[in-house]
Amino acid sequence: MLATASTTAKDAALAAAADLLVQHTPAILEANATDVDRAEASGTAATVVDRLRLTAARVEAMADGLRQVAALPDPVGEVVGGWTRPNGLLIEKVRVPLGVVAIIYENRPNVTSDAFGLCLKSGNAAFLRGSGAALASNLAVAAALREGLEKAGLPADALVLVDDVRHQAAVEFMRLREYIDCLIPRGGPSLIKAILENATVPYVIDGDGNCHVYVDESADLDQALDILVNAKTQRPSVCNAAESLVVHSSVAAQFLPRAAAALSGVDLVGDERSQQVVPSIAAATDDDYGKEFLDLRMSVAVVDSLDQAIAHVNRYGTGHTEAICTTDLAAAGRFTREVDAAAVVVNASTRFTDGEQFGFGAEIGISTQKLHARGPMGLRELTTVKYVIHGDGQVRA
Amino acid sequence: MLATASTTAKDAALAAAADLLVQHTPAILEANATDVDRAEASGTAATVVDRLRLTAARVEAMADGLRQVAALPDPVGEVVGGWTRPNGLLIEKVRVPLGVVAIIYENRPNVTSDAFGLCLKSGNAAFLRGSGAALASNLAVAAALREGLEKAGLPADALVLVDDVRHQAAVEFMRLREYIDCLIPRGGPSLIKAILENATVPYVIDGDGNCHVYVDESADLDQALDILVNAKTQRPSVCNAAESLVVHSSVAAQFLPRAAAALSGVDLVGDERSQQVVPSIAAATDDDYGKEFLDLRMSVAVVDSLDQAIAHVNRYGTGHTEAICTTDLAAAGRFTREVDAAAVVVNASTRFTDGEQFGFGAEIGISTQKLHARGPMGLRELTTVKYVIHGDGQVRA
């Protein structure tokens, strides 16, 4: 029974699976070549083909990922809390696996291995559905992983890869209430939309990040500039990259020209007041403020107060990560209390909202929903709890 | 802003609402009389009319409920954890309100007040939809509660009662993703079914309890008898009452006759082996084992091992509360680890799975789902978390 498998057995399976991935490299690359050839033949965009393509180094990285997960603490069995009631009942709240965790994902075959590792370590069976474009690669990767499970004496079916890749099958997959305890989608807006419309299984959404950097009137402008540039440009394609700059009007004239210069190469779109200071800023539409660009593009807004900044962030944000640059203790306090997001950051880059950066060791995604998990999801977020109650004959009066 | 309202302000509103409920008793009873008269005129069952009926004492009990919630600790602002990363970032995980909590419920007007109290204390706006049969009563109760909010300087709209009680409006209510952060249904199987089929908002299900008492071969049979009788008969109509007795074959001949005698007045339905020991037990169908009777009826099964007992419980249970009576440490350990339920109980009645009995002070329901909350839901389960990150200019390399 996977849920009660020992940490030793799970870690042995992760180590065996890692070794087998490396051993199976030729078969995996051969399978991957058929996926890549088919994708190229059908005119798939080069960036998509790149996500699909495996190399010996990428397979080695997948194996290393499994070894890293093996080295993390096992969340299962953690006693989250406990107390004794006046009648002598001892109530303990213990972390247990969810059961079956389903992941729907797109083209990257490494997700097959990464998701499996996190699910196994947290005692969950992994029920995976990748894209049709990566089916041969995913099957080859899964074969190695399943062999690793068996080698460690665990059931191979702790990993099940769905090989029916029709669109209709994905919809059916989202409705398997009898089999799936939690569904986590790893993909873009169209996948998320399909889940919101069709899923009847419980899910945790890894959602958009329309993240803001607000530069307060009291900000250390040099520091704010570093934070802004890092948040926007260090890796623009990810969900914790900043998409919007909000500046207090009392520092706009000083800060915006420096920001525009430091963000050369980034298309800035802004409101009239930002355009008055920096004429090269194009006019923003309301739509621009609500958009996760995932690109070298950024919206700019000038506000007259902390209240306006908070209102702007709460109106356009997606509840992911919002940062304030300030030296004012009261402003930091109000921003962190009043902005509604998974992470609120004072004087640091938005890019830190990440399982690795939080010290979780690995992550399955970043939740922008409020139920179950919010923010980076590591091994603990792949568990639930159970109350274990010990008595000596207590009955209710 | 309700989410950041002080505990003092929320407690003042609860106290004012309690006083106003009592002051408004004549108006509330008058409104209630119209609901009760209409229900009686349309031939509603007497038990349902009883749930609908208010008295001065019941209104006083609602007011007391609000005062008790005011006396509980405020979950908002609790720092659940915190740590400093090697780069100096301080990461804190802080409890915050969910936002808008929606409750759909049936005939009891006291839910209007109880749900409001728990939502307000946890910083959430309450968006309530009761049944059409109780509309006049609910509106009168809500008027008093909203007056209490205003008296304490909080927005009256922290409580919104939906007055469109058409069936179609309930379905629309379950799909208000833009407005509802969490939906908690308080009602029977048909309401739960409607939620599972129609809801697109996040929800927490307060589900069925097909709870078992397993009497192990090593059980103290006197103690087991007390536990069984309490679990089954102390209040048969509630979800944590036992519905099924599972007995190890080595003690069946000793225990079952005593159980049948002690449970006189309870209809027992069982398998052949239980019938051989106690001929008055009627034959059970598979359906009986899967049923939450909520009545003086109980299924009985004889098993040959702990393994069989665990398999039976996991097959027929609804993940609510499962109890074992045993003196064997290893059996207790295996049962608590291998049975998949919100609460597993060793040597005590199933009736303890309850917010009050757990020491939570009050509960909004008992979750049988695995995401977000499992088991009794108190004030903490009406919150989510936010990561608050403090830096001094950190950027990602």
Average pLDDT over every residue of A239-263: 98
- Tell me which chain A residues have a C-beta less than 8 angstroms from the C-beta of B341: 386
Determine if residue A69 is left, alpha or beta; phi over 0 gives left, psi from -120 to 50 gives alpha, anything else beta.
alpha
Average pLDDT over every residue of A159-177: 89
Q: What is the mean pLDDT of chain B?
A: 95
pLDDT of residue A198: 87
Q: What is the 3-state secondary structure (H, E, C) of chain A?
A: CHHHCCHHHHHHHHHHHHHHHHHCHHHHHHHHHHHHHHHHHCCCCHHHHHHHCCCHHHHHHHHHHHHHHHHCCCCCCCEEEEEECCCCCEEEEEEEECCEEEEEECCCCHHHHHHHHHHHHCCCEEEEECCHHHHHHHHHHHHHHHHHHHHCCCCHHHEEECCCCCHHHHHHHCCCCCCCCEEEEECCHHHHHHHHHHCCCCECCECCCCEEEEECCCCCHHHHHHHHHHHHHCCCCCCCCEEEEEEEHHHHHHHHHHHHHHCCCCEEEECHHHHHHCCCCEECCHHHHCCCCCCCEEEEEEECCHHHHHHHHHHHCCCCEEEEECCCHHHHHHHHHHCCCCEEEEEECHHHCCHHHHCCCCCCEEECCCCCCCEEECCHHHEEEEEEEEEEEECCC
Average pLDDT over every residue of B155-181: 91
Distance from C-alpha of B9 to C-alpha of B250, rounded to nearest angstrom: 61
pLDDT of residue A295: 93
Q: Where in chain B is the domain with CATH 3.40.309.10?
A: 211-355
Distance from C-alpha of B327 to C-alpha of B324, rounded to nearest angstrom: 10
Q: What is the mean pLDDT of chain A?
A: 95
Homologous superfamily of domain range B211-355: Aldehyde Dehydrogenase; Chain A, domain 2 (3.40.309.10)
- Tell me which chain B residues have a C-beta less than 8 angstroms from the C-beta of A3: 338, 340
Does position A1 have pLDDT exceeding 80, yes or no?
no
pLDDT of residue B198: 87
Letter string b/e over residues A138-147, b meaning 16 or more CB atoms within 10 A of that residue's CB: bbbbbbbbbb
Q: For residues A107 and B105, which has the higher predicted lDDT (pLDDT)?
A: B105
Does position A120 have pLDDT exceeding 80, yes or no?
yes
Q: How confident is the model at residue A174 (pLDDT cuts 50, 70, 90)?
A: very high
Q: How confident is the model at residue B197 (pLDDT cuts 50, 70, 90)?
A: confident
Q: How confident is the model at residue B1 (pLDDT cuts 50, 70, 90)?
A: confident
Average pLDDT over every residue of A87-112: 95
Q: Which of A130-134, B252-256, B299-303, B328-332 has the lowest mean pLDDT?
A: A130-134
Determine if residue A372 is left, alpha or beta; phi over 0 gives left, psi from -120 to 50 gives alpha, anything else beta.
left
Average pLDDT over every residue of A165-186: 90
Smallest CA–CA distance, residue B343 to chain A, in Å, is 5
- Tens-digit pLDDT profile for residues B10-37: 999 999 999 999 999 999 999 999 999 9
Q: Which of A164-173, B152-161, B230-239 has the lowest mean pLDDT?
A: A164-173
**Predicted TM-score (pTM) of this structure:** 0.93
Does position B6 have pLDDT exceeding 80, yes or no?
yes
- Tell me which chain A residues have a C-beta less than 8 angstroms from the C-beta of B353: 387, 389
Distance from C-alpha of A243 to C-alpha of A245, rounded to nearest angstrom: 7
Write down the ipTM of this complex. 0.94
Smallest CA–CA distance, residue B371 to chain A, in Å, is 5
- Tell me which chain B residues have a C-beta less than 8 angstroms from the C-beta of A348: 89, 389-395
CB-based contact B392 A347, cutoff 8 Å:
yes
pLDDT of residue A362: 86
Smallest CA–CA distance, residue A314 to chain B, in Å, is 13
Residue given tokens 């209104």 in the structure block: B59
Q: How confident is the model at residue B196 (pLDDT cuts 50, 70, 90)?
A: confident
In chain A, pLDDT over 70 holds for what percent of residues? 100
Q: How confident is the model at residue A167 (pLDDT cuts 50, 70, 90)?
A: confident
Homologous superfamily of domain range B2-207+376-389: Aldehyde Dehydrogenase; Chain A, domain 1 (3.40.605.10)
Smallest CA–CA distance, residue A90 to chain B, in Å, is 10
Q: Where in chain A is the domain with CATH 3.40.605.10?
A: 2-207+375-389
Count of other CB atoms within 10 angstroms of residue B360? 18
pLDDT of residue B25: 98
Letter string b/e over residues B133-167, b meaning 16 or more CB atoms within 10 A of that residue's CB: bbbbbbbbbbbbbbbbbebbebeeebbbbbeeeee
Which among A85, A344, A382, A387 is the top mutation candidate for probing chain B, defined by the most B β-carbons within 10 Å of its own β-carbon? A387
- Tens-digit pLDDT profile for residues B60-84: 999 999 999 999 999 999 999 999 9
Q: Where in chain A is the domain with CATH 3.40.309.10?
A: 211-354
Topology classification of domain A211-354: Aldehyde Dehydrogenase; Chain A, domain 2 (3.40.309)
CB-based contact B389 A223, cutoff 8 Å:
no
Q: How confident is the model at residue A387 (pLDDT cuts 50, 70, 90)?
A: very high
Q: The dihedral of CA A301, A303, A308, A310: what is its sign? A: positive
CATH of region A2-207+375-389? 3.40.605.10
- Tens-digit pLDDT profile for residues B105-160: 988 999 999 999 999 999 999 999 999 999 999 999 999 999 999 999 999 999 99
Q: Where in chain B is the domain with CATH 3.40.605.10?
A: 2-207+376-389
Q: How confident is the model at residue B206 (pLDDT cuts 50, 70, 90)?
A: confident
